[in-house]
Copies of this chain bind each other. A is one copy, B any other.
Amino acid sequence: MIPDEDFYKVPEVPGPSKEEVRCLVMCHSRVKEGDVVLEVGCGTGGLTVELSRRAAKVYSVDKNPQALEVTLTNLRKLNPQGEVELILGDALEAMEDLPPYDLLVVGGSSGELEEIIRKAYQQLQAGGRVVVTAILLETRLRSLKVMEDLEMEPRIVEVFVARGRTTQMGTMMQGLNPVAIISGVKKL
């Protein structure tokens, strides 16, 4: 996993997800060599870079041009060989022109979460997966609900991570914001 501090960052673009969260998203996504991946809401590109190191091809959509710029910078720095197509614009529109894929990763969905997951469900390969990273309470339940409706047998884990920081006085534990990861699978 890439250390947090290796990513280029700008204050206006959220992310990258902390290393531990990226690690758990990669695990729950079950991403593997040869996979085609759609990422919605790439932000700083933290997950984009990790996905591009493991999959054959990643499509990353964001409506914020600055997010795409930052993601591009991070890809060039951290995985220049990765097969990544960056798409500026609305996720639902971008999805019109995509080939089938094995995995949808949602980092941000601008209020279209349900529509994005429903549309992806149509486009996903059988056995394909959906993974949502949620910092909002509302996103947790909405993701569960739509995946239940689609009979994707969603699971949710919530993760609190604290990191030790060495100080003169001793090892201080610093809490990160809790994140939930919701994942489901399109049945074979």
Contacts and interface: CB of A to CB of B under 8 A. Distances in A.
Interface string A164-182: 1001011111111110000
A126 interface: no
Contact of A158 (B24, B26, B138, B161): B161
Copies of the polypeptide in the assembly: 4
Interface stretch (A54-62, A70-78, A81-89, A139-147): A139-147
Contact of A159 (B136, B144, B160, B177): B160
Given A137-B170, A177-B174, A177-B175, A155 B144 contact: no
Nearest to A159: B161
Contacts of A172: 135-137, 177
Interface of A: 1, 19-20, 23-24, 26-28, 30, 135-141, 144, 155-164, 167, 169-178
29 contacts: A1-B28, A19-B27, A20-B157, A23-B23, A23-B26, A23-B27, A135-B173, A137-B140, A137-B156, A137-B170, A137-B173, A138-B170, A138-B171, A139-B170, A141-B141, A141-B171, A156-B164, A156-B171, A157-B163, A157-B164, A158-B161, A158-B162, A158-B164, A160-B160, A160-B175, A160-B178, A173-B177, A175-B175, A175-B177
